[in-house]
Amino acid sequence: MTEKPLISIEALARRYPKRGGGETTVFEDLWLPIQKGEFVCLIGHSGCGKTTILNVLAGLDQPSSGSVIVDGREISGPSLDRAVIFQGHSLLPWMTVLGNIAFAVSSRRPEWSRETVRAHCQRYVDLVHLSGSEHKKPSELSGGMKQRVGIARALAIEPKMLLMDEPFSALDALTRGSLQEEARRICRETGQTVFMITHDIDEAMLLADRIVLMTNGPQAEIVENPLPRDRLAASMHRHADYYPLRNHLLEFLVTRSKSFASEIEGRPYDPRKPAVVRPCAVAEDKVPAAASV
């Protein structure tokens, strides 16, 4: 992966002023490149700063130091190049499904005629299987349908990158499963670059090419997904690499995330090149730390 990344997070830090003086550091010295067409998942315990990172990537929040480089340029604010799917669906409740998507599309393409916008929106409504509900208001939709509108709205502006903050966490398991499959299909078909936050290991295993494990400290570990690219939720657990990967992730979140700081103590740790791991069924499963990226 020597190709120039689409997005490069460089020495990013975010601190909040503490009440009564001083500062709390949410994260610091975070480095992460994201290649074009890559699906990256960020997993971490709640409160470790995932949403904060995403807001910085979206341009809604400013980092305390460090920068985010997109296409060779440092970002300075929100952009249509980076579409966001928010944790709550955040549809505008006074607009219909089509209206919400059209609002986004006509923001992206102010020169388009009403009919062009409409036809374009309809394509994305069909893509997320919402045909027939175009003229419903968000309050008339189920949670899963609202989330689909959010996905359609984000995809319809044809962004360079999709940022998702726990997009499926508020849904029931069945809806979540089918939406995950759909998200995977759409992202693969369109070659979309995605940065997604989740706290669901199975979701990350299904969707991500790379999984960033975040600790409450500044450190992180990157896990490459060894599962075949055409994996399906229903059958991926039969793959030989499934359990090694799953156990690795689980172990990190349950135990190693707390002891990670002492684990890497004494060893040279370069935050620019966090350890990259590829858990596989074969014994020789670890790529030497800091080998790639």
Q: Facing residues of 32 across strands?
A: 9
Q: How far is the CB of 212 from Mg ion (least distance, A)?
A: 15
- 52 makes contact with Mg ion (CB under 5 A): no
Q: Whose Cβ is closer to Mg ion: residue 128's or residue 171's?
A: 171
Q: How far is the CB of 91 from other proteins (least distance, A)?
A: 8
Query: Residue 293 in contact with residue 276, Cβ under 8 Å?
Result: yes
Positive/negative CA dihedral, 158, 86, 27, 77: positive
Q: Work out whether strand 73-74 and strand 65-70 pair parallel, antiparallel, or are unpaired.
A: antiparallel
> Does residue 112 belong to the site contacting other proteins (CB under 8 A)?
no
Residue 48 found at the interface with ligand ADP (CB under 6 A): yes
Which residue number places its CB atom closest to Mg ion? 51
Q: Sign of the C-alpha dihedral, residues 251, 254, 259, 264?
A: positive
* Binding residue (CB under 5 A) for Mg ion from 8, 25, 35, 51: 51
Residues from 75 through 94 that contact other proteins (CB under 8 A): 77-80, 82-84, 86, 88, 90, 92-94
- Judged by beta carbon, residue 83 or residue 214, the one nearer other proteins is 83
Q: Which residues contact 141 (CB under 8 A, 6 or more apart)?
A: 97, 133, 149
How big is the site for Mg ion, counted in residues (CB under 5 A)? 1
Q: Of Mg ion, other proteins, ligand ADP, none, which one does residue 26 interact with (CB within 5 to 8 Å by kind)?
A: ligand ADP
Residue 98 is a binding residue for other proteins (CB under 8 A):
no
User: Do 92 and 117 touch, CB atoms closer than 8 A?
Assistant: no
Residue 25 Cβ vs ligand ADP, minimum distance, rounded to whole Å: 9
Are 206 and 233 a contacting pair, CB within 8 Å?
Answer: yes
Q: Does 41 bind ligand ADP (CB under 6 A)?
A: no
Eight-class DSSP state of 36: T
Asked whether 222 and 274 are in contact (CB, 8 A), the reply is yes
In the chain, the amino acid numbered 91 is L
Residues 50-69 that bind other proteins (CB under 8 A): 58-60
Query: Which residues 6+ apart lie within 8 Å of 78 measured at CB?
Result: 58, 59, 60
Task: Give the pairing of strands 210-214 and 220-224.
Answer: antiparallel
In the complex, the smallest distance separating the C-beta of residue 71 from ligand ADP, rounded to whole angstroms, is 25
Using the rule CB under 6 A, is 145 a contact of ligand ADP? no
Provide the binding-site residues for other proteins, judged by CB under 8 A. 58-60, 77-80, 82-84, 86, 88, 90, 92-94, 103-104, 107-108, 137-139, 157
Q: Which residues bind ligand ADP (CB under 6 A)?
A: 16, 26, 44, 46-52
